[in-house]
Amino acid sequence: MFIFIRAKRIAIIAPLFIAIVFVLIFAPDNRDGYSLIWDVSVPANSDLSEEFAQHLEKIILTRDNAMLENDIEAIRPLYNANTRLGIYAFEHEQKKVKYLHSWAEKQGVKFLDINTFFKVRWVKEQGSKVTVNFSSITEYTYEYINMPDTPNRFRIATYHVLDLVNDTDKWLITKEWYTDPFADSLNTETLKAEDNKAFILSQGPRDFLNLNERRNKAVEYADLYCGASDNEDYYFRYNKDYKNYNSIGGDCTNFASQVLYEGGFKKTGSWNYQKDGSHAWVNAQGFKDYLIYSGRGSLITHGTYDKVLKLSYKLLPGDIIAYEKKGKVAHISVVTGADSRGYTLVNCHNTDRFRVPWDLGWSDKGIKFWLIRVNY
């Protein structure tokens, strides 16, 4: 069973088995962590899960507050500094805090709140070490520095395996694996462009009231099945009518194809799903190429962040952004809206995002973007 934590309340809920791509963040060899994350053979122990849910809640609250306040030292006591992987886990969180606040400075925003709720999937006790498998959704609230009292919110789901050791009646993190939404963006040197900030802060809200029915249906589907939905009935939920490809490379393109299909596009010989997805259905590069060369999509622009920023404001809900690394498209997101300054927001799988600013987590030098108008 799962232990579900929200607003410091504990409840036992029914199982929800989630298949999602996991990237090993806190160890050089990902095989052990990967297998633990996918291990469904660990028997449920409700007493043990409930006990460690309370320890886990304290850890998450401390990390959320440190992230909000940019207080890196506040999380240092959570980690076991006597092990290499404990130190590595702390240093990675340190980089994440630095990146988020560097992005906020680039964007001209201030974070008002960071709040996480989570589900404990299983807990396994091995002597002095305890391993906790859990899923979480973190909601970030921000406002623009020149638009106070107008909050914007986005949500990111992550999936974890955490090793804890007892040290004088305190449980310390000695190792952690999870899907990191900022893993491609931990070099903050790429986020220093004052002219971009001035442009972002000069923009106004955008009106999407006149979208056609097909775009609206596509966005509705993307909001429900992104894995980080704001609808409680759809927390961590994927559409079970489709195979989940996270364990074999990633599910982002499969999800984007589903969104377009729900938006009224008929399957074709090259873009289709019949118990399994075709190359154009599930492969990021193949999907991007198919959209453009089939005429179902039209290229708005392609290039680095500085080059595409202004044209990104032309994106509409239901459009597509493809993320290119080292000359190859590695990720696909679906446009689902815009924030109070008209900045484009996206949904996607791995990591699961709901209404997240389109470049957050994709800031490293060399990353290029394909902005694609989908011809609904």
For 236-288, the pLDDT digits (tens) are 999 999 999 988 889 999 999 999 999 999 999 999 999 999 999 999 999 99
Higher local confidence (pLDDT), 25 or 127: 127
**Structure tokens belonging to residue 171:** 């449980």
Cα(74)–Cα(96) distance, rounded to whole angstroms?
A: 14
The torsion of the CA quartet 190, 191, 197, 199, rounded to 10 degrees, works out to 30
CB crowding 159-175: b at 16 or more within 10 Å, else e = bbbbbbbeeeeebbbbb
Q: Is the C-alpha dihedral spanning 177, 62, 6, 97 positive or negative?
A: negative
Q: Is the C-alpha dihedral spanning 135, 230, 221, 313 positive or negative?
A: negative
Cα(275)–Cα(106) distance, rounded to whole angstroms?
A: 44
Cα(166)–Cα(143) distance, rounded to whole angstroms?
A: 40
Mean of the per-residue pLDDT values of the chain:
88
Region 42-64 average pLDDT: 84
- Enumerate the β-bridge partners of residue 163: 131, 175
Cα(227)–Cα(138) distance, rounded to whole angstroms?
A: 12
For 142-180, the pLDDT digits (tens) are 999 999 999 999 999 999 999 999 988 889 999 999 888
- When the candidates are 3.30.1150, 1.10.220, 3.10.450, 1.10.8, the CATH number that belongs to 2-194 is 3.10.450
For 189-226, the pLDDT digits (tens) are 666 678 899 999 999 999 999 999 999 999 999 999 99
Q: At 368, is the pLDDT very low, low, confident or very high (cuts 50, 70, 90)?
A: very high
Higher local confidence (pLDDT), 131 or 186: 131
Asked if omega into 351 is within 30° of 0 (cis), the reply is yes
pTM: 0.89
Region 45-52 average pLDDT: 78
Cα(49)–Cα(103) distance, rounded to whole angstroms?
A: 36
Alpha helices (runs of H) in the chain, residue ranges in sequence order: 31-37, 46-69, 84-107, 194-201, 213-224, 252-262, 279-282, 284-294, 305-308
Q: Check if the beta carbon of residue 346 is closer than 8 Å to that of residue 321.
A: yes
For 79-125, the pLDDT digits (tens) are 999 999 999 999 999 999 999 999 999 999 999 999 999 999 999 99
pLDDT at residue 348 tops 70: yes
pLDDT at 13: 32
pLDDT at 236: 94
Cα(284)–Cα(290) distance, rounded to whole angstroms?
A: 10
Strands 9-13 and 109-126 come out as unpaired
Cα(39)–Cα(154) distance, rounded to whole angstroms?
A: 30
pLDDT at 181: 87
Cα(103)–Cα(337) distance, rounded to whole angstroms?
A: 20
Helix (H, G, I), strand (E, B) or coil at 56: helix
pLDDT at 282: 98
pLDDT at 168: 84
Element of type H or E holding 113: strand 109-126
207: region left, alpha or beta (phi > 0 left; psi from -120 to 50 alpha): beta
